[in-house]
């Protein structure tokens, strides 16, 4: 194991009402990059024997780019960083206690990628921010708050070029209606399977107008040939320079991850192109928009909902447990109101 992350809870009495949410949010930011452990204090940390580096992160941090971990390792000494973000090279400890180490600071290429909320000093302002992301906060907390709002504002500009989540190898059942978010090529792959007939009704939606435009552009301009996908990406970027591509990794990597070859993708695309597809900009949290989706669902409906309820602002404001509960309640309400028999796809899980 190259790296283990240890997230240290903030147990200061002033932070009691926000501690769990801050811990959940920092876990969320790691994006499951590597194994992690949550501890009440540094003393509780366990160093696996096969671990080269251990990174202690105080809960209440925000960071979006997981390349920060490799950047930390590239600058590592025995101990690097500070009390709130501390990297230990386990191989160089040589029996010394962590208290005896003097950390070498990271440079701005690392420090500029992470933002700390200083919970001990800012607890009341953090709680206010959890209630309202637009609330005015002290200058010490402002960089953290600005990054949160930046992520929320980018909902309208961001679009997934390629999916980050793997696609289940098989799709059980048969469906005559499909509803899915406008993300990458997962819908194309699913709709190319035998579970969906040539008369399947399709609704592709997203809260992001950029994501909807990307899927419409693909359908109009791409031919399904994996070799021409990069050119399609390039021309879309040129046409919409203000939009923000997310995960524009190679289509070859996507196909390898999902055990597909060029002909598999081409066949799925050819079938998808023949289907009747409706595109719409919809927000799951808008009751009128939800009503549109309920009305569209009919017969056996497959609904790819992705991670719509496990998003930055929801995890920060509500915590992981409540975010999952919000999603579960939404799905239950949808199924209750829909005339269709609905199957929901959240990543690789169907229910």
pLDDT digits (tens, 9 = 90+) for 200-229: 999 999 999 999 999 999 999 999 999 999
How many CB atoms neighbour CB 173 within 10 A?
A: 11
Question: Residue 79: inside a domain, yes or no?
Answer: yes
Pairing assessment for the beta strands 349-350 and 53-58 based on DSSP bridges: unpaired
Question: Residue 39: inside a domain, yes or no?
Answer: yes
Do 108 and 162 lie in one domain? The reply is no
- Report in angstroms the alpha-carbon separations of 72 from 1, 62, 118, 189, 293: 16, 15, 21, 37, 45
Residue for token pair 């500029």: 112
Residue for token pair 């879309």: 236
pLDDT score of 243? 95
Lowest-pLDDT range, 10-14, 124-128, 232-236?
Answer: 10-14
Residue for token pair 């993300």: 183
Q: Which domain holds residue 78?
A: 3-115
Q: For residues 225 and 273, is the Cβ–Cβ distance under 8 A?
A: no
pTM of the model: 0.88
Question: Residue 93: inside a domain, yes or no?
Answer: yes
Do 101 and 175 lie in one domain? The reply is no
With DSSP H G I counted as helix, E B as strand and the rest as coil, what are the percentages for the chain, rounded to 5? 45, 20, 35
Do 40 and 99 lie in one domain? The reply is yes
Do 173 and 321 lie in one domain? The reply is yes
- Report in angstroms the alpha-carbon separations of 283 from 1, 159, 211, 236, 304: 40, 15, 13, 24, 14
Question: Residue 129: inside a domain, yes or no?
Answer: no
Question: Residue 43: inside a domain, yes or no?
Answer: yes
pLDDT tens for 116-150 read 999 999 999 999 999 999 999 999 999 999 999 98
As given in the structure block, the two tokens for residue 291 are 């009503």
Do 101 and 235 lie in one domain? The reply is no
The dihedral through the CA atoms of 90, 95, 98, 100 has a sign that is negative
Do 210 and 273 lie in one domain? The reply is yes
Secondary structure E strands in the chain: 3-8, 36-39, 53-58, 61-62, 79-82, 85-89, 115-116, 158-160, 175-181, 196-206, 244-246, 276-281, 300-304, 341-346, 349-350
Do 95 and 163 lie in one domain? The reply is no
Question: Residue 138: inside a domain, yes or no?
Answer: no
d(CA 237, CA 215): 13
Q: Which residues contact 179 (CB under 8 A, 6 or more apart)?
A: 202, 203, 205, 293, 296, 297, 301, 302, 303, 304
pLDDT score of 340? 94
The answer to whether residue 348 scores a pLDDT higher than 70 is: no
Question: Residue 90: inside a domain, yes or no?
Answer: yes
As given in the structure block, the two tokens for residue 281 are 């900009």
Do 169 and 293 lie in one domain? The reply is yes
Average pLDDT over residues 35-55: 88
Number of domains making up the chain? 2
Question: Residue 301: inside a domain, yes or no?
Answer: yes
């Amino acid at each position: 194991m190259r790296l283990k992350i240890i997230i240290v809870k903030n147990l200061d009495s002033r932070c009691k009402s926000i501690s769990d949410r801050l811990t959940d949010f920092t876990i969320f930011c790691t994006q499951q990059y590597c194994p992690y452990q949550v501890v009440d204090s540094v003393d509780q940390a366990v160093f696996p024997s096969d671990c080269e580096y251990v990174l202690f992160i105080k809960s209440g941090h925000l960071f979006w780019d997981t390349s920060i971990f490799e950047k930390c390792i590239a600058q590592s000494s025995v101990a690097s960083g500070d009390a709130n973000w501390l990297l230990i090279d386990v191989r160089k400890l040589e029996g010394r206690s962590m208290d005896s180490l003097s950390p070498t600071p990271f440079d701005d290429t690392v420090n500029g990628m992470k933002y700390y909320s200083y919970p001990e000093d800012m607890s009341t302002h953090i709680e206010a921010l959890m209630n309202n992301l637009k609330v005015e906060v002290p200058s010490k907390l402002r960089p953290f708050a600005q990054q949160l709002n930046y992520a929320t504002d980018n909902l309208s500009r961001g679009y997934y070029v390629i999916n980050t989540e793997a696609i289940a190898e098989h799709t059980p059942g048969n469906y005559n209606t499909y509803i899915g978010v406008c993300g990458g090529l997962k819908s194309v792959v699913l709709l190319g399977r035998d579970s969906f007939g040539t008369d399947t009704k399709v609704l592709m939606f997203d809260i992001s107008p950029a994501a909807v435009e990307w899927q419409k552009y693909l359908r109009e301009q791409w031919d399904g040939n994996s070799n021409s996908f990069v050119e399609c990406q390039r021309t879309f970027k040129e046409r919409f320079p203000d939009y923000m591509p997310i995960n524009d990794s190679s289509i070859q990597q996507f196909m390898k991850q999902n055990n597909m070859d060029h002909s598999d993708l081409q066949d799925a695309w050819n079938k998808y192109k023949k289907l009747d597809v409706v595109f719409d900009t919809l927000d799951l949290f808008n009751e009128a928009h939800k009503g549109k989706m309920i009305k569209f669902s009919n017969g056996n409906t497959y609904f790819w909902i992705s991670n719509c309820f496990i998003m930055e602002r929801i995890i920060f404001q509500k915590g992981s447990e409540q975010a999952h509960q919000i999603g579960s309640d939404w799905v239950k309400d949808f199924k209750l109101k829909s005339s269709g028999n609905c199957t929901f796809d959240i990543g690789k899980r169907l229910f």
